[in-house]
């Protein structure tokens, strides 16, 4: 795209996509912003009055706010830790030459294609059910008392379910990165006297650092918005109420659109802070 004519043609052809995308994002965002300054209770006739920043103050001063923030951080952090660590190990394993490589790789990636709602239901009913779940059978087989997963260790269970879904994503990206490592570098390190662990620590891990950053960035943004899995498993009880779920409850269970919208705006700001922060790290990595 070097000439003036081709540049303006390119702009013209990109325009519909850009306009559609902007409308898609800006209309709901603006509506949320407008609602957040209203006292808006659908059961009492919807819009009642403008209240300024009252909703914002009420949202953060509610007793449910800080526990929800804490749960969100624990869930996101836990899932990131599990997926990155296991993802690296799985990628190392899948990078080896083995029989049936293609089939194994597809099977490893499969959980990512299961819908979040289905994932939640499958785990709740097939694995974690205290009477008929597979894990309950496993516990009884070894003579233990079945764990009532979703009420005894609800946050851990949630982390487990979400990790199961996101592990394939992390594995896939890290495996691709691992395959781009020049094998000469590993051989040079071997000649230089580096053992298996040293090679992993000094050569493979630094090589993967950019991919790890990208995995963390993308996953964080998606994990902040987990909803379906909580909805079909615990409904936000037993301390699994994340920020996203709290917003949902404010709007639909309490029927308070204004308060929920204010929470929504907080979530948008939070996600952007994360994105900005992580983008800078990625940018720094790309400079190398």
Give residues in contact with other proteins (CB under 8 A): 182, 184-185, 187-194, 198, 202-203, 206-207, 209, 288
CA–CA separation, 94 and 99 (whole Å): 11
The residue (of 129 and 190) whose beta carbon lies closer to other proteins is: 190
Q: State the burial class of residue 221 (Cβ atoms within 10 Å of its Cβ: 0-12, 13-18, 19+).
A: middle
Number of C-beta neighbours around residue 215 at 10 A: 24
Minimum distance of other proteins from residue 186's CB (angstroms): 9
The residue (of 152 and 187) whose beta carbon lies closer to other proteins is: 187
Minimum distance of other proteins from residue 170's CB (angstroms): 21
How far are the Cα atoms of 53, 223, 242, 252, 253 from residue 249, in angstroms, in the given order? 20, 18, 11, 5, 5
57 touches 75 (CB < 8 A) = no
Residues 6+ apart with CB under 8 A from 138: none
Minimum distance of other proteins from residue 213's CB (angstroms): 13
Minimum distance of other proteins from residue 212's CB (angstroms): 13
210 touches 251 (CB < 8 A) = no
Minimum distance of other proteins from residue 59's CB (angstroms): 44
The residue (of 6 and 209) whose beta carbon lies closer to other proteins is: 209
Number of C-beta neighbours around residue 86 at 10 A: 14
155 touches 240 (CB < 8 A) = yes
How far are the Cα atoms of 14, 23, 88, 105, 174 from residue 208, in angstroms, in the given order? 34, 37, 9, 19, 7
CA–CA separation, 236 and 44 (whole Å): 26
The residue (of 135 and 189) whose beta carbon lies closer to other proteins is: 189
The residue (of 61 and 96) whose beta carbon lies closer to other proteins is: 96
CA–CA separation, 187 and 45 (whole Å): 72
The residue (of 255 and 285) whose beta carbon lies closer to other proteins is: 285
59 touches 262 (CB < 8 A) = yes
Minimum distance of other proteins from residue 156's CB (angstroms): 35
The residue (of 12 and 197) whose beta carbon lies closer to other proteins is: 197
50 in the Ramachandran plot: left (φ > 0), alpha (ψ -120 to 50) or beta?
beta
Minimum distance of other proteins from residue 214's CB (angstroms): 16
The residue (of 107 and 205) whose beta carbon lies closer to other proteins is: 205
Minimum distance of other proteins from residue 27's CB (angstroms): 44
């Amino acid at each position: 795209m070097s000439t003036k004519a081709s540049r303006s043609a390119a702009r013209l052809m990109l325009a519909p996509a850009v306009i559609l995308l902007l409308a898609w994002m800006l209309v709901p965002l603006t509506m949320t912003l407008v609602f957040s300054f209203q006292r808006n209770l659908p059961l009492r006739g919807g819009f009642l009055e403008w209240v300024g920043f009252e909703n914002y103050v009420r949202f953060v001063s509610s007793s449910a706010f800080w526990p929800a923030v804490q749960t969100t951080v624990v869930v996101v952090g836990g899932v990131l830790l599990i997926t990155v660590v296991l993802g690296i190990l799985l990628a190392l394993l899948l990078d080896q030459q083995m029989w049936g490589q293609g089939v194994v790789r597809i099977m490893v990636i499969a959980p990512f294609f299961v819908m979040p709602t289905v994932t939640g239901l499958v785990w709740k009913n097939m694995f974690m059910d205290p009477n008929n779940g597979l894990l309950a059978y496993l516990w009884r087989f070894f003579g233990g008392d079945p764990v009532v997963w979703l009420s005894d260790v609800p946050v851990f269970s949630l982390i487990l379910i979400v990790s199961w879904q996101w592990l394939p994503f992390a594995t896939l990206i890290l495996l691709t990165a691992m395959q781009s490592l020049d094998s000469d570098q590993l051989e040079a390190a071997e000649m230089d006297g580096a053992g298996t662990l040293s090679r992993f620590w000094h050569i493979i891990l630094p090589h993967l650092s950019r991919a790890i950053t990208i995995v963390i960035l993308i996953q964080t943004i998606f994990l902040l918005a987990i909803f379906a899995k909580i909805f079909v498993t615990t409904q936000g009880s037993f301390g699994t109420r994340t920020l996203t779920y709290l917003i949902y409850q404010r709007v639909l269970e309490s029927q308070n659109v204004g308060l929920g919208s204010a929470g929504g705006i907080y979530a948008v700001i939070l996600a952007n802070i994360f994105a900005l922060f992580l983008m800078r790290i990625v940018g720094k990595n790309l400079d190398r």
